[in-house]
Structure 1
Amino acid sequence: MGIEVRPATSFEDVKTMVGPKRPDANVCWCLSYRIPSKQNQALRGTERGELVKQLVAQDPPPGVLAYDGGEVVGWAAVHPRADTSFAGNRKIPHVDGADVWSIWCIRVRPGYRGKGISHQLLAGAVDMARTYGAPAVEGYPVDNGGRKMDLTMAYVGTRKLFEDAGFTKAADTNSVLNGFPRVLMRLELQPH
């Protein structure tokens, strides 16, 4: 299977991966960490999709998409941490003052799971951050020790997924998801 990962510049494909089935539904749209929480709570229904449409048109776009042929099969959110709600998140520490990028959501469409696409999405997100000159990339996955977790919570990734991509644990966090502690995983891309 030839999976290709590229920057998320197609609003329709981002919508397929993170948008609601009904345009007026209040779903995350992968905005809850990307924008300040007051703004996130204020946006309703179609306003969320409209904001994503604007983000997709920006440089850098809000993440990467995975394609199997012409079919979109996965999404990963990646952006400079300073422009996300992780910038001020008290539960997730700052390791240092480097202008790191954050990867906070990895989703693979049902029917395509278990084929390693999340690994390719993570690699693609790292490549995009590297292209934009990020000194390092962070993720905040759960440390589930290989135990089963609720699929709706699996979007943050697992420690093993990030370790397999060369990330190392840089810090503990005070964040817990689905009963599992989240850890700060980091990959240095260039000396700072």
Structure 2
Amino acid sequence: MNVRILPATTDRFDDVEITLTGGGDGPSCQCQWWTLPAKEFQARTRDEKEQLLRDEVGETPSPGLVAYVDDAAAGWVRIGPRTRQPRLLRTRLVTAHTREPLDDAAVWAVSCFSVRKEHRRAGLMAPLLSAAIDHARTNGARVVEAYPFDPTVKKRPSNELYHGVLSTFVDAGFDVVAQPTPDRALVALTLRE
């Protein structure tokens, strides 16, 4: 399997859309769940959410990365400053357990993975995470947080694993900061002091 991972950019937006339409809630969510308050998320149409994502992809640094398997768009990861994902800052898992100031733009979050059905169970999450860490480091992140599930404790459908899998983060060097439920954790990786 030949895997390349590149920043989501305006000229790769069609590939972002391909990754989000391969199964799960990606087409309707457009990876806007963490960027909008609940009422606004519900009120926005799919086309409006797509435009919001299109606008984000035009920004620097990119809010996500696209994985290509043998030159076909196969997966997506959202990675960016936690402050640009305001719903995270109102989520109890984060507010009750983070060790980092909520207003610190140097704290980044990996909040969403989307892997097309035909590429699942092929180990794509690990290289996406590795590339996300590099993207965060290159763009000045001090810490990267994430909020994965542990499917060895409680089995979950693939569509619910968009937060990531705990073992993938631990294998990448993340520390478990808190585990408020047996199958859910807040993890963090310090990139610089």
The residue that corresponds to 2:2 in the other structure is 2
CA separation in 1, counterparts of 2:21 and 2:153?
Answer: 29
Identity across matched positions, percent: 33
Q: C-alpha deviations, 1:8-39, integer Å up to 9, x for none? A: 11211111112599xxx971111101233333
Specify every segment of 5 or more residues in structure 2 that has no aligned partner in the other structure, as ranges.
none
TM-score normalized with structure 2 length: 0.86
Over 3 Å counting, the alpha-carbon distance change for 1:80 and 1:183 in structure 2 is same
TM-score normalized with structure 1 length: 0.86
Aligned residues: 183
Q: C-alpha deviations, 1:48-97, integer Å up to 9, x for none? A: 11111111111122211101232111100111011111122233233122
From 133, 144, 147, the equivalent of 1:140 is: 147
* SS in structure 1 of the partner of residue 94 of structure 2: coil
Structure 2 matches for 1:151-190, cutoff 5 A?
151-173=158-180, 181-190=183-192
The residue that corresponds to 2:20 in the other structure is 18
* SS in structure 1 of the partner of residue 79 of structure 2: strand
Report the RMSD for the aligned CA atoms in angstroms. 2.2
CA separation in 2, counterparts of 1:11 and 1:87?
Answer: 27
1:96 and 2:100 are equivalent in the alignment: yes
More helix by share: 2
The list of structure 1 runs, each at least 4 consecutive aligned residues, that deviate by more than 4 angstroms after superposition, is: none
The residue that corresponds to 2:136 in the other structure is 129
Q: C-alpha deviations, 1:86-137, integer Å up to 9, x for none? A: 1222332331225310101112212212221110001111111111110010
Specify every segment of 5 or more residues in structure 1 that has no aligned partner in the other structure, as ranges.
none
* SS in structure 2 of the partner of residue 27 of structure 1: helix
